[in-house]
Amino acid sequence: MNRACLAALTLLLGLAGCGQKAPAPGAAPAATPAQAVAKPIAPSASRDPDVVLHAWADAVEARDWAAVRAFWGDHGTRSGLTEAAFTAQWAKLRQPKVTVAKGAGEGAAGSAYYTAPVRIVDGARVLSGEVVIRRVNDVDGASAEQLRWHIESTTLTP
């Protein structure tokens, strides 16, 4: 038996003992849980405010605090907190489960607002409040940042 066959046989026997499947010939081995890296969640560019709020909820549940902060205006600076302070405040949530209820929209002086009730359950702790998101209506000269739905305010404080 040549070395390549012996190595393949050893690999297959070793994997069989671990309850794992051998990778297909030429395929990259599957990532182990320690190697798996979550894909960062980016603020949604959707024009649907419900889609944006559910993307924000996904970021909260993933505990991706940089992404959660980026849903605020000016890519997070409108949260009023530095990245470190924002992370320190939100990182108190250990296993948050977020429910976003259907909200209501309204327009005012060139902007659209959407307010939705939100509930975050984190173990025995429950946070209930509202998240208000805003975007500029399609106004000539408006920047992409102004046109995207972003968090304007919230009554949720972790």
Find the domain containing 83 and state its range: 45-154
Res. 108 pLDDT band, cuts 50 70 90 = confident
Q: Is the pLDDT of residue 130 over 70?
A: yes
Helix (H/G/I), strand (E/B), else coil: 108: strand
Give the per-residue pLDDT at 136: 94
Q: How many CB atoms lie within 10 A of CB 47?
A: 13
Choose between 15 and 56: higher pLDDT: 56
Is residue 7 in a domain?
Answer: no
Reported confidence tier of residue 10, pLDDT bands at 50, 70, 90: very low
Query: Domain total for the chain?
Result: 1
Q: What is the CATH number of the domain that holds 149?
A: 3.10.450.100
95 within a domain of the structure (yes/no): yes
